[in-house]
Homo-oligomer: A and B are copies of this chain.
């Protein structure tokens, strides 16, 4: 289907990882930030298409209380509706032990937890103090790993905070270390509001590595508010970071909403990685087709650069795919 879709010319750069894990957060972090609520069958089809595009690292939903995030109130139904391919991950975010139990009951076998680098975000979004949120996350990590359930940890507001402004890089390293030492397989440093630039990205990564977290256990979770994500990815790749979060079509971007803070779009990231000769296992054409398909269903313009460009470049398979889906 995607043979005639343009792909970037490959030119490697010294000192880069040979392979990168693209951790797809569109169905979770993307959809939770969109104002419209996507029907359960569309969410399940989105996950199916992402797996079919080669994703093996997918965050499918979140088991937070439905009153907190109505967009993801159907978490258990989504999990039930998604067939997870062999060797693929289906991760669900859980806020606490109760959420962990709901996720496990629904059939989830890998979870993620969130802490905050700042007090303000801990209070506003995690309903806790900074250290209280870390304690709660550690509790979940210990309970999950005791059951053989791997855990991924997020450190939110690792590069800036809308209330506090500059974030103490040592607070980031400390939160990351707490997650790592409790047993998180991966710690994702989150630029939740998208304010990082390449020098700051490098500094936060280096201080986190210096705190003892191996680079193989580190991921970056970038939002593209100021359009800076790929410059930041380039800086992090040079430091050996080999896992990046992204959402197909930049879901969560809310192009018409105040405070647009969408994730880095998966296909924009993959275009750069493939251009650098870095393997991802992902099919760019299938990702772009997924974006075009979902945009059509939602009645919005294609929200990523690559999906727009590939469609405009006359990759007719993409537009047919979008129209016939």
Query: A residues near B, CB below 8 A?
Result: 8-13, 159-160, 165-166, 194-200, 202-203, 224-228, 230-231, 233-235, 255-260, 265, 268, 271-272, 275-277, 301, 304-306, 308-309, 312-313
Contacts and interface: CB of A to CB of B under 8 A. Distances in A.
Given A225-B309, A276-B197, A13 B231 contact: no
A234 B309 contact: no
Contacts of A228: 230, 268, 271-272, 275, 305
Given A226-B268, A228-B271, A259-B312, 5 more contacts: A198-B276, A200-B275, A225-B305, A227-B227, A260-B312
Interface centre among A225, A255, A256, by most chain B C-beta atoms within 10 angstroms, is: A225
Nearest to A309: B225
A172 B12 CA distance: 19
A288 B10 CA distance: 34
Q: Is the interface of A mostly helix, strand, loop or mixed?
A: loop
Contact of A308 (B13, B165, B195, B260): B260
B225 A8 contact: no
Contacts of A309: 194, 225-226, 260
28 contacts: A8-B197, A9-B195, A9-B197, A10-B199, A11-B200, A11-B203, A12-B199, A13-B198, A13-B202, A196-B275, A197-B272, A197-B275, A197-B276, A198-B234, A198-B275, A198-B276, A200-B275, A225-B305, A226-B268, A226-B305, A226-B309, A227-B227, A227-B268, A227-B305, A228-B305, A231-B272, A259-B312, A259-B313
B312 A258 contact: yes
Contacts of A308: 260
B166 A9 contact: yes
A312 to B, nearest CB: 5
A276 B198 CA distance: 7
B230 A271 contact: no
Nearest to A256: B301
A307 to B, nearest CB: 10
B230 A13 contact: no
Contacts of A159: 9
Contact of A226 (B160, B165, B271): B271
Contacts of A306: 226-227
A277 B199 contact: yes
Contacts of A225: 305, 309
Given A226-B306, A259-B313, A276 B8 contact: no
A165 B6 CA distance: 10
A319 to B, nearest CB: 11
A203 B166 CA distance: 36
Nearest to A162: B313
A209 to B, nearest CB: 16
Contact of A199 (B198, B276, B304): B276
